[in-house]
């Protein structure tokens, strides 16, 4: 196969630049397009930020930019979750404030100890950002330092004044949090549907409408065509972020993430089917028309069940092998059938929102499972500390205290899950330019001199905040730009309580942001940073290896130890899913001669991921039954067949992992045959005993058949991808280089 990484002729780059420009413009149109519920979220953000601004200006609350920016951070999945997030944030700020005051007052007497305290505190701040699952709670500690470090360097203030200003840092966040919670409670009474529910319902309805129009041989166009194309282009990254901030138990989030990933796959298939059908002149057969209508009815039932928090009805996977004249219809049927399996292990609607029995001994973790064993957390903290200290040393060396916003910039931009360094740098720089130079300095020069009341400034503030909030409610591929835009604007215009006649303050704060970005680029985004596609591939292969280990826990003699290991592996696999998804978003921002190849590899892994997530949920259900001792005493033939099935499942999982990692893998066994053999042994034993099969063993048959029906097509897809010389060569140049 001709290499796609070869150098191109001199006249090509201009064409590639035009192509990149077209892609970027289309990307912006997609990200900024309205979708159901977006206006409500933006309205709540703008109202909360504006009310906070009015309170800050009216009562002259110092460091008001912190309160305003946190109105964009706090969760909006529900008022209760927002309240919890606000309380956690305030508590962390209180702890950080006490830590800062006690630490600095004991170290401020000596420049050396003061400097060492700053290094230690920054390291702790970045480490907390990495090991606390709730990012916006973790970053509160760093925000306190970002305001306190420059404050305590102001030697012209007395110790009492600096202590008082440090206390104001936490109070401004308290104001922003309280206002956000109040706004959420008011809005939820007017608009009770949650953002996640509305997003799921609208996507399912769009797919259902596409199927009904295809079944009726109606042309697809107008609003429906735009809607399904928009959902396919948007993907599910924003839905995943909402789930992570929803406050649901971790297992519920994992199950919903699988369902959301399958729904994203279903939207892509519906968009592709629309294109295929528009280019297919022949009429549909009666059988395909009936299948489309039946699938639309299943989606309608699924949509209604999710709205009512009912468990979706399970669809038998083994009955979905019939061919169709619509090439994508069988795959859509299979995807819809997998969605109910994402909720495996839940016996009622209430079970979806409480931890399952497997987690009975596991407490809700405040820290990630590998907080003190994963070296990546340490590397992250070292990178962040070095970058921030570089910025601190630079502005202190040149005696330019106005650049102290560099510290806050370093802390707020240290997002390890946003994606590749190119994406992060683009969003940071874009936010600084738009929010700082365009809106911040532009307002100082052209708008604020003509305003003489709080009303005029409020209109300006609402305008800029609305733009920031609209961008913030895009997918994670662009949302960080909105946060950076708001931060730059608030740092310039929400620190003092009067219009500044000099542009020096705005200039210093913008240059401070740029200094922080430069230091992050020099250190944070250069040290221990890997290619996004490589990270995506490694995480997916690692998930498959851990899945094999999780399957093998069923043969561990110590059930309690095995259960703890299953919980740990499950959480690590779910974290790996998040890594794969975030890096998939980042790959889009990587350009160059190999971009086309990377996007194709990305599409392969994105196609496999939802099925792997469903497989994990069903496997957890099987282990749940086993650890709860729901099965009766099994005969030797049944035990042998069950052991053979579990061994074959683990072998297939490892074979898939080896193939994705670019290693030579032997052909995997037929797990569907193993599941059939287990069923035969159970039926044979109870037929000979003239006894009915116990319900728990009926469940065992169902679970093993579902596992086989899920993993077999996944293995066939992965194996055929790497067995194909052209597609395999597309993957292996990068993977082989990694593994040699």
For the entire predicted model, the pTM comes to: 0.72
Element (H, E) at 271: helix 250-278
pLDDT, tens digit (0-9, with 9 covering 90-100), for 578-600: 788 878 877 876 666 777 888 88
Q: 687 or 134: which carries more pLDDT confidence?
A: 687
**Gap between the Cα atoms of 119 and 385, Å rounded:** 7
pLDDT for position 116 = 92
CATH assignment, 532-739: 1.20.58
Average pLDDT over residues 232-248: 67
Place of tokens 């909105």: 482
Confidence of residue 281 (pLDDT cuts 50, 70, 90): low
Tokens of 531: 């290619």
pLDDT at res. 378:
92
Average pLDDT over residues 112-139: 87
Q: Which residue has the higher pLDDT, 450 or 461?
A: 461
Higher pLDDT, 346 or 236: 236
Does pLDDT of 505 surpass 80? Answer: no
- Once rounded to an integer, what is the mean pLDDT over residues 718-733? 73
What CA–CA distance (Å, rounded) separates 530 from 702? 42
Q: What is the phi-psi region of residue 592: left when phi exceeds 0, alpha when psi lies from -120 to 50, beta otherwise?
A: left
The predicted structure's pLDDT at residue 709: 87
Highest mean pLDDT of the ranges 198-202, 251-255, 291-295: 291-295
pLDDT, residue 321, reads 54
pLDDT digits (tens, 9 = 90+) for 518-542: 898 888 877 777 677 888 888 999 9
Look at residue 467 and tell me whether its pLDDT is greater than 80: yes
240 vs 121: which has the higher pLDDT:
121
User: What is the distance, to the nearest Å, from the Cα of residue 454 to the centroid of all Cα atoms in its chain?
Assistant: 39
Residue 740 has pLDDT above 60, yes or no: no
Average of pLDDT values for 354-383?
69
Q: How far is the C-alpha of 388 from the C-alpha of 523, rounded, in Å?
A: 9
pLDDT of residue 543: 93
Contacts of 667 (CB under 8 A, 6+ apart): 655, 719
Banded model confidence at residue 316, pLDDT cuts 50, 70, 90: low
* Stronger pLDDT, 142 or 240, i.e. the higher one: 142
User: Is pLDDT at 363 greater than 50 in this prediction?
Assistant: no
Cα 435 to Cα 37: distance, rounded to the nearest angstrom: 25
Tokens found for residue 443: 């307002």
Q: What integer pLDDT is reported at residue 11 of this predicted model?
A: 38
Residue pair 199/236 in contact (Cβ under 8 Å)? The answer is: no
Q: Which two tokens stand for residue 437?
A: 């130079």
Tell me which residue of 208, 196, 210, 320 sits closest to 259, measured CA to CA. Answer: 196
Q: Which of 726, 732, 591, 585 is nearest to 1 (CA)?
A: 726
Across 34-38, 300-304, 424-428, least confident range: 424-428
Alpha carbons 76 and 54: distance in angstroms, whole number:
22
The structure tokens listed for 346 are 């839940």
Burial of 168 (0-12, 13-18, 19+ CB in 10 A): middle
Return d(Cα 601, Cα 584) in angstroms, integer. 10
CA distances for 452 relative to 133, 316, 438, angstroms: 45, 69, 21
Any alpha helices (H) in 588-670, and if so which ranges? 595-627, 636-660
Higher pLDDT, 424 or 418: 424
220 contacts 277 by C-beta, under 8 angstroms: yes
Q: How far apart are CA 347 and CA 319, in angstroms?
A: 23
Is the pLDDT assigned to residue 6 strictly greater than 70? no
Cα–Cα distance for residue pair 383/379, rounded to 1 Å: 6
In this model, does residue 292 exceed pLDDT 50? Answer: yes
Give pLDDT tens digits for 546-569: 999 999 988 888 878 888 888 888
- Mean pLDDT is lowest, of 293-297, 349-353, 361-365, 465-469, for 349-353
Tokens of 378: 């340490």
Task: Please tell me which residue, 109 or 321, carries the higher pLDDT value.
Answer: 109
pLDDT of residue 737: 42
Give the pLDDT band of residue 226 (cuts 50, 70, 90). Answer: confident
pLDDT at 2: 35
Number of other residues whose CB lies within 10 A of the CB of residue 555: 13
Per-residue confidence at 156, pLDDT binned at 50, 70, 90? confident
Where are the domains positioned within the chain?
A: 12-192+375-524, 195-359, 532-739
DSSP string, 331-390: HHHHHHHHHHHTTTT--STGGGGS--GGGTTPPPPSS-TTTTT-HHHHHHHHHHHHHHHH
Q: What is the pLDDT of residue 562?
A: 85
- Candidates 327, 269, 299, 284; CA nearest to 209 is 299
Asked if residue 346 has pLDDT above 60, the reply is no
């Amino acid at each position: 196969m001709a290499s796609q990484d070869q150098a191109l002729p001199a006249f090509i780059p201009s064409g590639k630049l035009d192509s990149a420009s077209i892609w970027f413009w289309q990307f912006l149109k997609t990200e900024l397009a309205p979708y159901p519920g977006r206006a409500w979220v933006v309205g709540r953000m703008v109202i909360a930020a504006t009310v906070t601004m009015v309170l800050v200006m009216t009562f002259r609350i110092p460091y008001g930019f912190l309160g305003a920016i946190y109105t964009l951070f706090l969760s909006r999945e529900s008022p209760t979750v927002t309240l919890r997030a606000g309380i956690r944030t305030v508590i962390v700020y209180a702890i950080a404030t006490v830590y800062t005051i006690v630490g600095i007052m004991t170290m401020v007497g000596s420049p050396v100890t003061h400097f060492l305290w700053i290094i230690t505190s920054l390291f702790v701040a970045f480490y907390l950002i990495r090991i606390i699952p709730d990012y916006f709670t973790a970053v509160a500690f760093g925000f306190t330092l970002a305001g306190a470090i420059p404050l305590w360097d102001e030697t012209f203030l007395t110790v009492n004044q600096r202590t008082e200003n440090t206390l104001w840092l936490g109070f401004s966040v308290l104001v922003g949090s309280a206002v956000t919670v109040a706004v959420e409670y008011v809005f939820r009474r007017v608009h009770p549907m949650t953002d996640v529910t509305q997003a799921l319902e609208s996507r399912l309805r769009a797919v259902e409408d596409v199927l009904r129009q295809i079944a009726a041989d109606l042309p697809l166009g107008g609003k429906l065509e735009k809607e399904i194309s928009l959902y396919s282009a948007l993907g599910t990254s924003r839905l995943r972020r909402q789930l992570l901030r929803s406050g649901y138990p971790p297992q519920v989030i994992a199950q919903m993430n699988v369902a959301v990933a399958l729904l994203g796959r279903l939207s892509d298939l519906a968009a592709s089917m629309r294109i295929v059908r528009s280019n297919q002149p022949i009429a549909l057969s009666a059988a395909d028309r009936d299948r489309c209508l039946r699938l639309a009815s299943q989606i309608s039932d699924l949509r209604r069940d999710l709205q009512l928090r009912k468990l979706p009805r399970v669809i038998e996977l083994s009955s979905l092998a019939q061919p169709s004249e619509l090439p994508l219809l069988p795959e859509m049927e299979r995807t819809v059938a997998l969605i109910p399996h994402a909720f495996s292990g839940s016996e009622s609607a209430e079970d979806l929102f409480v931890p399952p029995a497997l987690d009975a001994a596991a407490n809700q973790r405040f820290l990630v499972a590998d907080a003190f064993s994963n070296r990546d957390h340490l590397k992250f903290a070292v990178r962040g500390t070095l970058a921030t200290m570089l910025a601190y040393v630079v502005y202190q060396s040149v005696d330019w205290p106005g650049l102290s916003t560099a510290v806050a910039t370093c802390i707020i931009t240290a997002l390890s899950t946003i994606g590749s360094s190119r994406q992060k740098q683009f969003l940071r720089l874009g936010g600084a330019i738009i929010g700082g130079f365009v809106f911040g300095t532009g307002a100082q020069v052209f708008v604020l001199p003509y305003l003489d009341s709080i009303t005029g400034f409020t209109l300006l503030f609402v305008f800029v905040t609305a733009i920031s909030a609209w961008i913030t409610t895009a997918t994670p591929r662009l949302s960080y730009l909105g946060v950076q835009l708001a931060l730059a604007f608030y740092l310039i215009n929400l620190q003092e309580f009067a219009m500044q006649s000099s542009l020096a303050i705005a200039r210093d704060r913008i240059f401070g942001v740029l200094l922080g970005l430069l230091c992050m680029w020099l250190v944070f985004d250069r040290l221990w940073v890997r290619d996004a596609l490589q990270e995506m591939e490694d995480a997916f292969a690692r998930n498959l290896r851990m899945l094999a280990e999780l399957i093998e826990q069923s043969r561990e003699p110590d059930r309690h130890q095995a259960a703890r290991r299953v919980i740990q592996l499950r959480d690590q696999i779910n974290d790996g899913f998040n890594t794969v998804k975030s890096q998939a978003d980042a790959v889009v921002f990587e350009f160059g001669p190999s971009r086309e190849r990377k996007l194709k590899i990305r599409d392969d892994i994105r196609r496999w991921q939802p099925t792997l997530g469903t497989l994990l949920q069903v496997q957890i259900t099987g282990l749940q039954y086993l650890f709860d001792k729901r099965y009766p005493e099994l005969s030797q033939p049944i035990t042998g067949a069950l052991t053979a099935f579990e061994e074959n499942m683990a072998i297939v999982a490892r074979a898939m992992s080896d193939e994705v990692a670019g290693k030579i893998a032997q052909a995997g066994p037929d797990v569907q045959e193993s599941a059939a053999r287990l069923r035969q042994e159970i039926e044979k034993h109870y037929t000979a005993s003239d006894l009915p099969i116990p319900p728990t063993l009926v469940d065992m048959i169902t679970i093993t058949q579902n596992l086989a029906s899920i993993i077999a097509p996944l293995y066939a897809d992965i194996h055929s991808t790497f067995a194909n010389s052209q597609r395999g060569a597309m993957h292996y140049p990068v993977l082989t280089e990694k593994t040699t």
